[in-house]
Structure formats: C-alpha cells, structure tokens
Amino acid sequence: MLGGHLNTGRGFHPNGSGLPAHSELDSSPPSSQIPLLTYGEEHLEISADHHALIVPPFMGHGNRVHPMPYTDPAVPLQPRPMVPKKDIAVYGYGSVAWKDRMEEWKKRQNDKLQVVKHEGGNDGGNGEELDDADLPMMDEGRQPLSRKLPIPSSKINPYRMIIIIRLAILGLFFHYRLLHPVRDAYGLWLTSVICEIWFAVSWILDQFPKWYPIERETYLDRLSLRYEKEGKLSELASIDVFVSTVDPMKEPPLITANTVLSILAVDYPVDKVACYVSDDGAAMLTFEALSETSEFARKWVPFCKKFNIEPRAPEWYFSQKIDYLKNKVHPAFVRERRAMKREYEEFKVRINGLVSTAQKVPEDGWTMQDGTPWPGNCVRDHPGMIQVFLGHSGVRDVEGNELPHLVYVSREKRPGFEHHKKAGAMNALIRVSSVLSNAPYLLNVDCDHYINNSKALREAMCFMMDPTSGKKVCYVQFPQRFDGIDRHDRYSNRNVVFFDINMKGLDGIQGPIYVGTGCVFRRQALYGFDAPITKKPPGKTCNCLPKWCCCLCCCSRKNKKTKQKKDKTKKSKQREASKQIHALENIEEGISESNTLKSSEASQVKLEKKFGQSPVFVASTLLEDGGIPQNASPASLLSEAIQVISCGYEDKTEWGKEVGWIYGSVTEDILTGFKMHCHGWRSVYCIPKRPAFKGSAPINLSDRLHQVLRWALGSVEIFLSRHCPIWYGYGGGLKWLERFSYINSVVYPWTSIPLLVYCTLPAICLLTGKFIVPEVRTNGLALCSILAF
C-alpha cells in the first residue's frame, strides 16, 4: 500500500478529478509564474523561463515531470488501467490491492481516522493530517505484548553510587591490610586476610548482578486481539501443566485436589490445557482423590468461569474474608455460590474419608474396583500407570462444555534402577505429555502451589508468543508467594531480598534462575536445543560518514568485492571439476538416493541416541509448534506413553545430562536453568499485580531448617560437579554477570567455613594476647579506612 500523501495543487480547490473547475479556468488569467515542487514545498518566486518544463496554466499546479499533450479541460479524465486487455489472473497474488480490496482498505482507514478524532484527536484547528504510515500502529493487535520498565534513576543511581563508594573503601582497606602485616602474629593475620578476601568476593558476586534491575508490563488485551479473533478458533498455544506429588500422607490430597481444580478452571481455552499429575509414590489414595476431583470439576469449572471468581482453588476461595458480592451483578450468584459451597463441603468429606481409610492398609494390599490388585502396592517395584480422567470424548461439565485433560501418571520403578527423584519424575512427564498432547509450552507447579491468578498462563504467553522477542525465551518464572505466614515472618518465608530484588536484577541481564515451581517452559529448550540466533542489525552506511571516509570505505569494499568475485570463480571452477570427477566415479543410478537415505538414517540414529527408542516421541521433538498425529488412535498413543515411562528408557541416552531436568543435584531447578542459559536462551521474570501462584510455607522451625539444608546441599553438589558455573559453559551463551549470580548461588554454603573461622579469631587473640591488625599510631588514612569500612 502507498503510505505517503501526494500533494497536488495545494493552492487550488480540486474537484473529483483532481483538476481545477472549468469556471476557475475561464476566470483565472494566464500566469507567467510556474510553481516548482521541491520536497513538498511550492516556490512561486521562480520565473517561468527558468523552468525546464512549461505547463499550460489550465493544467493546474501538478507535480508533472514530463511533457503532456494538450487535452480539453471540459472532458474529464477517466481512470483506466495501463494494459486494459491483460487478464487479472496473470498478476498472481500479493499485497497489491484490487478493486474490492482497495475499497475495503479505504473503509478501514476512514474508520481509524474517525476513531482517532473521537478519542482526542483534536489538533486545535490546525488541520494537520495523520500520516498513513502511523496508522498500523493504532492497531493494538500489532503492538508488542509486553515491555520493559527500567527502575527510575532516582532510585537505582544512589544504590550504584553506594556500591562504587564501598568498592573504593574496600580497595583502601585491603591496601592497608596487605601492606601492614602483623609480624608477631603472622598466622592469625594471614587467616583473617583470607577470610576477609572471601567475604569481599562473596559481596561482589552478590552486588553486581543487581546493577540493572528491571520490571515488566504485559498487555493481555493485545494478546487476545492478536490470537483470539471473533468467529475463529483460538490461536493461543497449548500448555501442558505438570503437578508433582510423592507421599499423600505428607502432602495432603485435599491440597493437591485444590491445585488441580485451579488448573482445570484457568482462564484459557479448554482444548489448549492438559494437566498431568505425577504420583511418584504410586499411592491408591492419590488415584482415588483424583477420581473424586475429576467428578467435582464438572461442577466447579463452569461455576468459576460463569462468575469469574478469584482464586479458583475452592479451599482458599471460600475461606477468604472479603466481600464476595463485590462486582458481582448476576442475580443467581448468591444462590449458586451457596449451593457450590455445600457441594465442596461434601467433596471435602469424601476426600477426608479416603485419607482415613488409607491409613489402615490391608495385609495383601489394595485392590481395584474389578478385584485386581492395585499395581502400586509395592512402591519400589511396580509397572507404569497412566489414567486419563478428563478430556476424552463423552466427559463434559454439567453445562455440556468440554473440560481440559486430566491425566494420572506413575512411572515404572524396579530395583536396581536409579530414579533421580523429582527430576526423573519431571522427565517422565515430558515424554508422556509429548506423546499424548505435545503442547509447545509446559507449566511446572508443586502440588501445594495453586493458581491464584486465573490469567497466569496468559501472562506467560505475552512473553512466549511475542513475535519480536519471544523466540529466545526459554522460560517465564513467577515469584513464589505463600499463604499462612505470620505477621512478622519469623522464618523469612517471603524471602523479599531474593524474589523482589535479586531476581529483578537478573532479569535485566539474561533472566532469573529457575526456582523449581511456578515456571512456564518452552519445550524445545528442555530438549537441549540451542537458542535461535538473532541477526545483527546492519552497521553504518556511507550516508552516515564523511566523504573522505566514504571514499576509503568504497575503495576497501571494491577490493573486497573483487577478491570475493575471484574466490567465487575459483570455488565455482573447483565445484564444477569435483562434480565432473564425481559423475565419472559414480555412474551407477540411485547412488544419490541411497546417500540421502543413509543421511536420514544417521540423523534418526542420532536422535534416538539422544531422546530414546520411541519413534513417536522422537518425531514429536521435531515439531516446534507441538501437536500429535491426527490419525493416531488413543489406544496406540497410550501404549507408546507406557513405554516412554519405563524404568530402562533413559539408559544410554542424554536424559538428565543434556535433555530435560538435569540430574546430579537435589536442587535440580538451578542446574536445569543454568544449562538453558548456557545454550544461549534467556528467561523472563513476571510479577503480575495479582500473584500468579500461592503455596504453603513451612510453619515450624524444623521444616524451615530442613528446607534450607536441602538448598545448601544441592548447591554443594553443583559446586563439586562438572556443571559448576566456575568452569562450565564457557564459549556458550551465558553472560558474565549471569555467571556471577550462578557462582554466588553455589558458593554461598561454603561461606559458613570462613565465617566460623573469622568468628573464632577474637577468642584466639584474647587467649594468646596477639591481634590480627597492627597497632595503629599516626596513620590517619588507615584509621579512616578502617572506620569507614
């Protein structure tokens, strides 16, 4: 389309044909001054004899650049094609608008102009027209789905100045400490200096990743305009949700059921959501609780979507102390809410009855409804189990609408096989979901973290599906928020420094680290693929440089071009010669076909060595946009899914090494995110106004200490492994400040050793009568540096 304005005869009043009226031509005398159009401006001072083209006065002030024959002004000029007899089908298809498209385009442009005028497009009577090139930007669906919001300089610059001042003081302090050793207590002095250097390095590793914190803002309305158009199917990407649980006695089934219900009722197209529950304990209690949950979901999901309630976990919805009638104008809301609360109380009674029944295990184990023994009676030796509760044909809610998929998964366990705890369970879910639904994005939540914001998936899709920057995003991490924290937060469950300061700083570098829950992944990133390489913008052209530099550039480019041409001719001759030799050596037919078959077989073997022996799963890894074969039957897919969760499937593959959740640490979350960043991906930290997820925090000191000990043990395991960020991943896509953050996350447990030693030094000095610093006499600079530090 043409985006500019053609200024033709701005001093006249053109009629429909663009020419002056006949009465004006008769009344206006012939003018000897011919206006000249120069960059859209008319110069009337130039005389007619200076023009190379003399236009008759009745032709108007047109911007003609070639002589035209005389035409009668009384006869209007009719629009006509340049080649009237040419068939329109010869032109093919493209962006050139024909008659119907042109009329539609004009109508759209007029509508946009009317919208601008009504929404405050008042120009104060200046009559300035809008540029057509700016009109597409008015379309909300074409604008970015998110944007960065840097921290205001008035807030961040003082913090940076404090860091710089402390660095300067730190340098003066070590200058004094190293140049003034204690001769009579050299061992104490050296020990203290080593501890102080460790503390300084640890402080530097903690401070510099916070140098450029940012915040982000999403536009959910633009996401809907772009991917959810009226009268068409939703184009939002599918999402598979993973919920992990192990022991139903430690993780109450009612909490897990609320998490599942909040997922099934999420504000997202139902055919785009699938929930997979991993039961690593193979407990029949979890199986029966999910069966009851699927029945209650048929009533709960339509109630949530009808009245748009928040949160959509019934336990927390009915327990919140707010005015639930606020913004609810539906006359039947109170009645249906009361009935739904009664239904939920009955659901709780059934779940609690299952829990009390499960505490008395029969001697021969549990049996199913048909009398067969429950396969998971032996927790460490049982076959793989998959059960689809919702999503298959025939199961709908009480209003007849479809429901998201709900799948129960318990991977096979046999003695003598390493199962890798949560990381192994997550990798089993990756394979099962790729066979059954194969959504391009995955959401991982713990069983005690429910969806508090029903639009959380849409928030993540604003980053993942952004056409400009979404291709390089490997995951979107949400902060952890908790219920049931006391007012003083005595166990520091909120962890404000980490989630509200450190993670924002990492988001300004390469992205936050993965914290184990509340994270939306790109499936291709979990498969160990590298991030797509973005093309660099073009450099400076000769128009930006002086003339002498332009000449040098042109000369160097000409030399390079000549060299490249010579190289190309040489290479082409060599290729022709090699082709002739190859043709002479390989006269037999079908050799090229056999070579392509060999290459395809080699690539297939390589993929099977990386992903395993399942052809269905290997084929699904090549589908970037996800999806499953249309002609595949549910029975065949189910049998294939059982195969990929067998205990020996990962043998001699790259699962846990380069693919999926990475093994080797109890804090597999840090290791998995670190591997993705080393492949060049970046992550995003999303903090919606309403918290996306909420979980249950440790309520006593022993649970909190156990959690902190687990984190520290995982960091030590990573530090002692080959994936230590101090020496792993160089030459990849990991940025230096991001590496500092990962080093700090695996080094911090070791700080306890120098801290313990440094705390014992005063006692040793008191017993020995010696000190770690020399006696300060008249050195004012040293005294000032010590006091400032």
As annotated, the active-site residues are 280, 669
* Residue 26 assigned to a binding site: no
From the CB of residue 153, how many other CB atoms can be counted at a distance below 10 Å? 9
Q: Count of alpha carbons within 13 Å of 138, Cβ hemisphere only?
A: 18
User: Residue 137: helix, strand or coil by DSSP?
Assistant: helix
Q: What one-character-per-residue DSSP string does 156-203 give?
A: HHHHHHHHHHHHHHHHHHHHHHHHS--GGGHHHHHHHHHHHHHHHHHH
CA distances from 273 to 565, 616, 769 (A): 55, 21, 71
Q: In this structure, which long-range contacts are made by residues 563-572, counting pairs with CB atoms below 8 Å and at least 24 apart in sequence? A: none
Q: Are 265 and 304 in contact (CB under 8 A)?
A: yes
- In angstroms, the CA 334 to CA 337 distance is 5
**Which has the closest alpha carbon to 515: 441, 563, 457, 449?**
449
Encoded tokens for 524: 């291709």
CA distances from 12 to 19, 25, 28, 183, 371 (A): 9, 11, 11, 98, 95
| DSSP assigned state of 381 | S
The amino acid at 493:
N
* Residue 624 assigned to a binding site: no
**Which has the closest alpha carbon to 729: 666, 681, 783?**
681
Q: Are 74 and 22 in contact (CB under 8 A)?
A: yes
**Which has the closest alpha carbon to 472: 444, 500, 438, 511?**
511
Residue indicated by tokens 């709780």: 348
Burial class (CB in 10 A: 0-12, 13-18, 19+), 211: middle
* Residue 422 assigned to a binding site: yes
* Residue 251 assigned to a binding site: yes
Residue indicated by tokens 């329109």: 88
- In angstroms, the CA 384 to CA 644 distance is 9
Burial class (CB in 10 A: 0-12, 13-18, 19+), 752: exposed
* Residue 675 assigned to a binding site: no
Instruction: Establish whether the linkage from the previous residue to 629 is cis, with ω within 30° of 0.
Output: no
The amino acid at 695:
G
User: Residue 421: helix, strand or coil by DSSP?
Assistant: helix
* Residue 421 assigned to a binding site: yes
* Residue 112 assigned to a binding site: no
The amino acid at 459:
E
Do strands 693-696 and 449-451 pair parallel, antiparallel, or not at all (unpaired)?
antiparallel
Phi, psi of 755 (to 5 degrees): -65, -40
* Those residues with Cβ within 8 angstroms of residue 415's Cβ, 6 or more apart along the chain or in another chain: 380, 381
Q: Are 279 and 286 in contact (CB under 8 A)?
A: yes
Give the bridge partners for 274, in sequence order: 240, 405
Q: What one-character-per-residue DSSP string does 396-420 give?
A: --TTS----EEEEEE--B-TT----
- Alpha carbon of residue 754 to chain centroid: 39
Q: For the chain, how many residues are written?
A: 789
Signed CA dihedral, 580, 586, 590, 595: sign only: negative
Encoded tokens for 295: 């029945």
**Which has the closest alpha carbon to 623: 445, 443, 437?**
437
- In angstroms, the CA 463 to CA 146 distance is 7
- In angstroms, the CA 98 to CA 77 distance is 20
Please give the helix or strand (H or E) that residue 555 lies within, else none: helix 547-585
Phi, psi of 287 (to 5 degrees): -60, -50
Q: Are 693 and 452 in contact (CB under 8 A)?
A: yes
- In angstroms, the CA 464 to CA 684 distance is 9
Q: Report the binding-site residues.
A: 244, 250-251, 280, 421-422, 446
Q: Report the binding-site residues for Mn(2+).
A: 422, 446
Q: Report the binding-site residues for UDP-alpha-D-glucose.
A: 244, 250-251, 280, 421
